[in-house]
Amino acid sequence: MKTLYLAADHPQTPEIAARIIRSGDLVGIPTETVYGLAANGLDEAAVAKIFEAKGRPQDNPLILHVADAADIEKFCHGIPDAAWVLAEKFWPGPLTMVLPAKDTVPKRTTAGLSTVAVRCPDCAVTREIIRMAGVPIAAPSANISGKPSTTTAEHVRHDHDGRIAAIVDGGPCRVGVESTIIDLTDGQPRLLRPGGITPEQLYQVLGELVVDKAVTAQIDKEAVVKAPGMKYKHYAPQAEVLIVAGSREKAASYIRRYFAPGDRVLCFEEELPLYEGFSPLAYGKEADVNTLSAGLFAALRELDDPAVRKVYARCPEGGGVAYAVQNRLKKAAAFQIVDAEVE
C-alpha cells in the first residue's frame, strides 16, 4: 500500500482523510498530545486493523475521539455531572474520560469492557476529519506497541510507511505526552494516567481524586486493572533505562563514574556542560517542564537504537505536567531508579 501524505493546512485534507476513515482504512492523525492511528471507531473490521498495525494486545481498549462534547451522549450512558463540568472546562484538550459505554460502541473498541474512554482533541484538523467522517475515531498513539509514542508525522512514517492509507502532518505535538485519563465510573474519580491536564487541575474542579496504583508502580501482567494498557511494557527504547535522581552535581558524578562505551545520558539542557564527552541528549529545559513533555518521546525514540547499551536518565521533580513526564520516564525505565545522593 502506498501511504498518502497530507498537509494539515491543505483545504482538502479533512475531506480526503474522512473518506479514508469511512472506507475502513487507517490514517495517522495529529493531536495536541501525540499522533494517533485512527480508524472508524464504530467499524469492528477497521478497528481490528489498528490492533494489527500496532501489534497491540487485544485486551487493551481504544479511546474514542469526538469532535464535540455533546457527541459523547451517543456512546455513553449514565454520564455524571462531573463529566460535563470537566468537558466544559478542559475540552477540546488533553483529557480522556472513562464512562459507561452504550451498545453503539463495538466490543473491539472497548476490548470487551462495559466502559469506554472518550476525548475531544485540541486539534482543529482532526476534529474536522471526525466531523466530516460522521463517526467517532478510535485512535491509540500511533507507535508500534511498547515503543515510545509518536510526536511527529515523521515518527508515524517510520513506524507505518506503506502499511497505512494516509498520514496527516500537523507538525510536532504541543503537549508531547498522551492525554490524562480519568475514570468516572466508580464512585470516586480515579486518575488512570497523568498527562497535560494535571492532577491539581482535576482536584480543583472535582474536590476529590484517587490516583490509581498503575500510575505509580509496575503492574503485574496477570493483574485485573482499571487501565488495561498500564500493565504492559511501555515507551521503552531497546536499551535498559536507569533514572538517576539527586542534585545535578551528584547525578553527574554518579553517571560519569559508571558510564561505559555505548551508554547514553538523557538529561536537561541546563546539564549539558556536565556531560561533555559523554554523548548527552537533552530533551528539554528543566526550568520549563512543557519543553520536557514535548521533547521526551522524540528523545526516547532517538535512543531506541541497538547500538545503545544503557540510558542514564534525568527526571524532573514535582507535580503538574512534571508528574506526567515522571510517569512516562519511570515506565520506560521499568521503575529502575537510583538515588545519586546516597550512592
Contact positions vs Mg ion (CB under 5 A): 141
Nearer to ligand TXA, 314 or 331 (CB): 331
Of the two residues 36 and 280, which places its CB atom closer to ligand TXA in the complex?
36
> Do 111 and 228 meet the contact criterion of CB atoms below 8 Å apart?
yes
Residue whose entry in the numeric block shows the C-alpha cell 480515579: 190
Q: Enter the C-alpha cell of residue 33.
A: 498530545
The residue among 65 and 264 lying less far from ligand TXA, judged by its C-beta, is 65
d(CA 149, CA 35): 8
Tell me which DSSP letter residue 144 carries: P
CA distance 173 to 150: 9
d(CA 144, CA 37): 10
If binding is defined by CB under 6 A, does position 227 make contact with ligand TXA? yes
Q: Closest distance between ligand TXA and the C-beta of residue 243, in Å?
A: 21
Min dist. Cβ of residue 149 to Mg ion (A): 6
Residue number with CB closer to Mg ion (147 or 174): 147
Window 124-143: contact mask with ligand TXA (x via CB under 6 A): ---------------xxx--
| Cα–Cα distance measured from residue 96 to residue 72, given in angstroms and rounded to the nearest whole number | 12
Residue 192 makes contact with ligand TXA by CB under 6 A: yes
Name which position in 26, 53, 63, 242 contacts ligand TXA (CB under 6 A): 63
Whether 133 contacts 24, CB under 8 Å: no
- Among 7-15, 70-78, 114-122, 247-255, the segment contacting ligand TXA (CB under 6 A): 114-122
- Identity of the residue, 308 or 327, whose beta carbon is nearer to ligand TXA in the bound complex: 327
Residue 229 in contact with ligand TXA, rule: CB under 6 A? yes
Give the one residue of 13, 40, 115, 198 binding ligand TXA; rule: CB under 6 A: 115
Q: Does 179 bind ligand TXA (CB under 6 A)?
A: yes
CA-CA distances (angstroms) from residue 157 to 2, 5, 126, 153, 325?
Answer: 11, 9, 18, 6, 24
Nearest to ligand TXA of 3, 110 (CB atom): 110
Residue 116 interacts with which of Mg ion, ligand TXA, none, CB < 5 to 8 Å by class: ligand TXA
CA dihedral sign, ordered 267, 272, 278, 279:
positive
Where in the chain does DSSP place strands (E)? 4-7, 27-29, 36-40, 63-65, 95-100, 115-119, 137-138, 166-169, 180-183, 190-193, 210-211, 240-245, 264-267, 280-282, 310-313, 337-339
Asked if 294 interacts with ligand TXA (CB under 6 A), we say no
**Considering only CA atoms, which of 130, 132, 103, 110 is closest in space to residue 228?**
110
Please give the residue ranges that form the binding site for ligand TXA (CB under 6 A). 31, 33-34, 36, 60-63, 96, 98, 110, 113, 115-117, 119, 121, 139-141, 178-179, 181, 192, 226-230
